[in-house]
Amino acid sequence: MREAATLQDALRDGRVFAGGRAARTHEGLPSGNGAFDDALPWGGFPRGALTEVLIAADGLGELSLLAPALARLMCRERIVLVAPPYIPYAPALVRAGWPLARLAWIDAPPERAPWVAEQCLRAGCLGAALVWTTGGDERALRRLQVAAEDGGSFGFAFRPARHAANPSPAALRLLVDADAAGAIRLRVLKCRGAQPPSTAFAPARTH
Amino acid sequence: MSTLWACFALPELALEAGMGNGEWGMGKTEAKPHSHSPDSRFPIPAAHGCADAADAARSGSAHSPFPVPAAHGCANAAGAEPAPESIRGCAGAVRSPPFALHDGATQRPRIVCANTAARAAGIRAGMALAQAQALLPGLVARRHDPSAQARRLELLGAMAYGFSSQVVLEPPDAVLLEIGASRALFGDWKAIEHALRVRLAEIGHHAVFAAAPTPAAARVLAGLADGYAVAQPGHLARVLARVPIGAARLSAEHTEELRRIGARTLGDVFVLPRAALARRFGEGLLQALDWLRGSEPDIRTCYRPPDRFERRIEFDHGIAHREALRFPLQRLARELAAFVQSRDGGVPRFVLRFDHDPHEHGAEAGAAATLLEVGLRKPSRDADALFEAARQTLERAALPAPAHALALIADDLPPFAPELRDLFDPGLRGSLDWDALAERLRARLGEGAVRELALHADHRPERAWRVAEASAVTPKDPPLPPPRPLWLLPQPIPFRGRIVRFVEAPERIETGWWDGGDARRDYAIADLDTGQRAWLFRVADAQADQAGGAGTMRTSDAPPAHDVGWMLHGWFA
């Protein structure tokens, strides 16, 4: 173990060129949507922080929004889905480019879901933990945010859009809903360290 | 590096194995790693060549140190005892109530051996059991079982196999291992000795150690003193020359005859001319002496670890309470971990067998044993993880009757496959790795809570996925499936929304007529007025087919009326 630690120390040294990979400190995870990434201070989703995704309904492309970013993350790290509202459908996940071997689906009762997500984020062995919760408990979110900081993982919490008006400790808050014409809108409600962009983004929808 | 054989002898193995058959709680050995004083720590390749570093605290008495001439460059750090008989008296690490083994004779059972507490009360080997019990009414006596001892020696061989590829079992109570080559990996003899001591203490054994360039010499030295090491082949003959004839492990008749001609130590024998020795004692003695000195190769059959693990602990009386089963279970888990570690393997699942007394519950005569299968998410070799898994399984299960014995059986022992890691992998940021985390979550949420997904070759959407087995290998490049929703409903439900438009041409899925799960559906992807994108299907019937079938479905933007008969099967999240 000691050898591994010293190797990591060496790699952290700025003078070591790590084969084309950018230095990974607190960089963001680009979402693939250029305009959206540019508007965020991290250039994407923030690592070691909680991103809250408020959704007006299921099936608005809320997971597809993260899919390219997570697919890239899963080249090297494992992610977990905690208490998803439906069955994560393997053929669609494969189509989205997710290696199934690096994905775990954790089935937990709704009241346990925040606790499970907290454990997953704090453990630090996972790239990201995505949790679906309906509760409006702000303390649970704060615990998730702290756990994501401790573990240095990406935390994503999906909650109903009705919580948009309540304050949240998440570093990044997104709202996904549809306008009157049925077109999907993605709005940034809060992004820590910067003014949230006032315009809405139109996420590209492949499927 | 030159060859160096280590030997550990367990003078109380019979007792320890005997106690293992039930008095597991009493056999708790202090996990006392040999605590040498710093000045007695001689690394093996020291210029002096030999270091007698027997621990005074352990051997208990400082009288009659094994006579090693200090002038010859050996450091005699502490007292040790001259004969194996007295070493039996110094295994003071075991603090347990008086305990003895008897030979089990029906007429007049005799004591075979007794532990420290029993010996303190004057109980000796060869004494009649009745006499011993009269001396000490609280004496726990159990029948000596040589096969239990042999099995225990096998286990110790398996443990030693973790330190060397050449392990030789020396029945009844010693194990030899070649450590000359192991030193590169584990450090000098002191480090190996310490590691072995700790491992032995963990499974409740106390041993005496020695090391020498030949296996026979190592065995002899282990009988003389604890911690004795001779690293240089050049010093071996000098050290052996001081060994009393009685401790040289020659055959009984040779020993007797040599005594009769006035030889007291091996040195007295070494100076005799070979030809005369051969004439008088035969080639056997010469060969034994050559093996000791290493002038002739001593070829022995090496131990091979078995491909199966089975250990059983018998109880004196039936145990029905789970809490009381914890300790034997923990002991078995430790032994299993020691076994798989020495194989450099892991164990993915094992079976716990609780034997019941068939006469105790007349009505449940069929339930002679309860089998509990313990499965782990991934092969493990960690004693705590194995015990935790077993304990959780036990907590969920119910025993129909008190258990009279507990056995742990592991048949499936695959090689351990460590996870491959990228050089630039940032490694662990937190305290847990994924396996530990998954085990913890499983423990809290239930066995099936942590799932991995896999594709399954079936066109029916609800069967095109499944929960992956732990060892499942996903194909490298699966064919790209047609557009599918990320969320699948566990059961299709009647659709009540409002369709704005259809996105793709409909897809007919018609299959499964051969296995009774007949499916004949037209799937469509539809945008709803809420902005949602749904995956819908209609059951295609023969009538609709005649009337043009799926062709009736429009892919135009014209919003259809609230279509009846649509089932919702997924969301494009």
Q: B89-98, B211-220, B380-389, B558-567 — which is least confidently predicted?
A: B89-98
Evaluate if residue A152 carries a pLDDT over 60.
Answer: yes
Q: Mean per-residue pLDDT for B255-261? A: 88
Question: Long-range contacts: B196-199, Cβ < 8 Å, 24+?
Answer: B196/B6, B196/B8, B196/B160, B196/B163, B197/B33, B197/B34, B198/B31, B198/B33, B199/B159, B199/B162, B199/B338
- The whole-angstrom separation of Cα A187 and Cα B122 is 88
Of A193 and B211, the structure prediction assigns the larger pLDDT to B211
Tell me, yes or no, if A177 comes closer than 8 A to chain B by beta carbon: yes
Residue in B closest to A65 by C-alpha: B573
- In this prediction, residue B477 has a pLDDT band, given cuts at 50, 70 and 90, of low
Concatenating the DSSP letter of every residue in B48-65 gives T-EEE---HHHH---SS-
Q: What pLDDT shows up at residue B78?
A: 35
Q: What pLDDT shows up at residue A116?
A: 94
Nearest to A91 among B431, B455, B573 (CB): B455
Q: What pLDDT shows up at residue B145?
A: 80
Q: Cβ of B445 and A182 within 8 Å?
A: no
Q: B215-229, B321-335, B368-382, B409-423 — which is least confidently predicted?
A: B409-423
Q: What pLDDT shows up at residue A186?
A: 92
- The whole-angstrom separation of Cα B125 and Cα B11 is 14
Average pLDDT for chain B: 75
- In this prediction, residue A52 has a pLDDT band, given cuts at 50, 70 and 90, of very high
Evaluate if residue B324 carries a pLDDT over 90.
Answer: no
Chain A CB contacts of B448 under 8 Å are 107
Q: What is the pLDDT of residues B14-65, one digit of tens each?
A: 777 776 543 333 333 333 334 333 333 333 333 333 333 333 333 333 333 3
Of A108 and A12, the structure prediction assigns the larger pLDDT to A108
Q: Cβ of B441 and A112 within 8 Å?
A: no
Q: What pLDDT shows up at residue A17?
A: 63
Q: Print burial letters for B549-571: b (CB count within 10 Å at least 16), e (below 16).
A: bbeebeeeeeeeeeeeebbbbbb
Q: What pLDDT shows up at residue B179?
A: 87
Nearest to A119 among B441, B533, B571 (CB): B441
| Continuous segment of H or E residues that includes residue B253 | helix B252-260
Q: Is B421 helix (H, G, I), strand (E, B) or coil?
A: coil
- In this prediction, residue B486 has a pLDDT band, given cuts at 50, 70 and 90, of very high
Q: Print burial letters for B334-366: b (CB count within 10 Å at least 16), e (below 16).
A: bbbbbbbbbbebbbbebebbbbbeeeeeeeeee
Tell me, yes or no, if A111 comes closer than 8 A to chain B by beta carbon: no
Of B415 and B521, the structure prediction assigns the larger pLDDT to B521
Q: What pLDDT shows up at residue A67?
A: 92
Q: A48-57, B308-317, B327-336 — which is least confidently predicted?
A: B308-317
Q: How crowded is residue A14: how many other Cβ atoms within 10 Å of its Cβ?
A: 6
Q: Mean per-residue pLDDT for B140-153? A: 82
Q: B9-18, B75-84, B206-215, B436-445 — which is least confidently predicted?
A: B75-84
ipTM of the complex: 0.86
Q: What pLDDT shows up at residue A60?
A: 92
Q: Cβ of A59 and B533 within 8 Å?
A: yes
Evaluate if residue A205 carries a pLDDT over 50.
Answer: yes
Residue B464 Cα distances to A42, A79, A81, B511, angstroms: 38, 22, 19, 12
Domains and CATH numbers, chain A: 27-191 (3.40.50.300)
Q: Mean per-residue pLDDT for B476-493? A: 83
Number of CB pairs < 8 Å for A and B? 189
Nearest to B429 among A64, A106, A124 (CB): A124
Residue in B closest to A63 by C-alpha: B573
Nearest to B452 among A7, A84, A103 (CB): A103
- Calculate what percentage of chain B has a pLDDT beyond 90: 6
For CA atoms A189, A193, A195, A201, the dihedral sign is negative
Q: Chain A: nearest CA to B385, how far in angstroms?
A: 17
Evaluate if residue A81 carries a pLDDT over 90.
Answer: yes
Q: Chain A: nearest CA to B427, how far in angstroms?
A: 8
Q: Chain B: nearest CA to A130, how far in angstroms?
A: 14
Highest mean pLDDT among A43-52, B242-251, B400-409: A43-52
Q: Is B99 helix (H, G, I), strand (E, B) or coil?
A: strand
Pick the closest to residue B354 from B373, B376, B335, B334 (CA basis).
B373
Of B505 and B210, the structure prediction assigns the larger pLDDT to B210
Mutation target vs A (from B453, B525, B530, B532; most A CBs, 10 A cutoff) = B453
- Catalogue the E-assigned strands of B116-206: 140-143, 167-170, 174-178
Q: What is the pLDDT of residues A85-98, one digit of tens each?
A: 999 999 999 989 89
Q: Chain B: nearest CA to A84, how far in angstroms?
A: 9
Q: What pLDDT shows up at residue B97?
A: 77
- In this prediction, residue A113 has a pLDDT band, given cuts at 50, 70 and 90, of very high
Q: What pLDDT shows up at residue B75?
A: 35
Evaluate if residue B331 carries a pLDDT over 70.
Answer: yes
Question: Long-range contacts: B274-278, Cβ < 8 Å, 24+?
Answer: none
Q: What is the pLDDT of residues A17-35, one digit of tens each?
A: 655 444 334 568 888 888 8
Evaluate if residue B260 carries a pLDDT over 60.
Answer: yes
Q: Chain B: nearest CA to A192, how far in angstroms?
A: 23
- The whole-angstrom separation of Cα B393 and Cα B322 is 11
Q: Is A15 helix (H, G, I), strand (E, B) or coil?
A: coil
Half-sphere exposure (Cβ direction) of A45: Cα atoms closer than 13 Å: 32
Q: B265-279, B441-455, B463-477, B551-565 — which is least confidently predicted?
A: B551-565
Q: What is the pLDDT of residues B388-442, one digit of tens each?
A: 888 888 887 778 888 888 999 998 787 766 656 666 655 555 557 888 888 888 8
Give one word for B227, left, alpha or beta, with left for phi > 0 and alpha for psi -120 to 50: left
Q: What pLDDT shows up at residue A132?
A: 95
Of B355 and B92, the structure prediction assigns the larger pLDDT to B355
Q: A123-137, A145-159, B65-79 — which is least confidently predicted?
A: B65-79
Q: What pLDDT shows up at residue B568?
A: 93
Q: Chain A: nearest CA to B526, how far in angstroms?
A: 11
Mutation target vs B (from A7, A53, A122, A207; most B CBs, 10 A cutoff) = A207
| Cα dihedral A38→A40→A44→A48 (10° resolution) | 160
Q: Mean per-residue pLDDT for B246-271? A: 87
Evaluate if residue B230 carries a pLDDT over 60.
Answer: yes
- In this prediction, residue B536 has a pLDDT band, given cuts at 50, 70 and 90, of very high
Q: Mean per-residue pLDDT for B321-331? A: 87
Q: What pLDDT shows up at residue B532?
A: 92
Q: Cβ of A101 and B449 within 8 Å?
A: no
Nearest to B573 among A64, A76, A152 (CB): A64
Q: What pLDDT shows up at residue B367?
A: 61
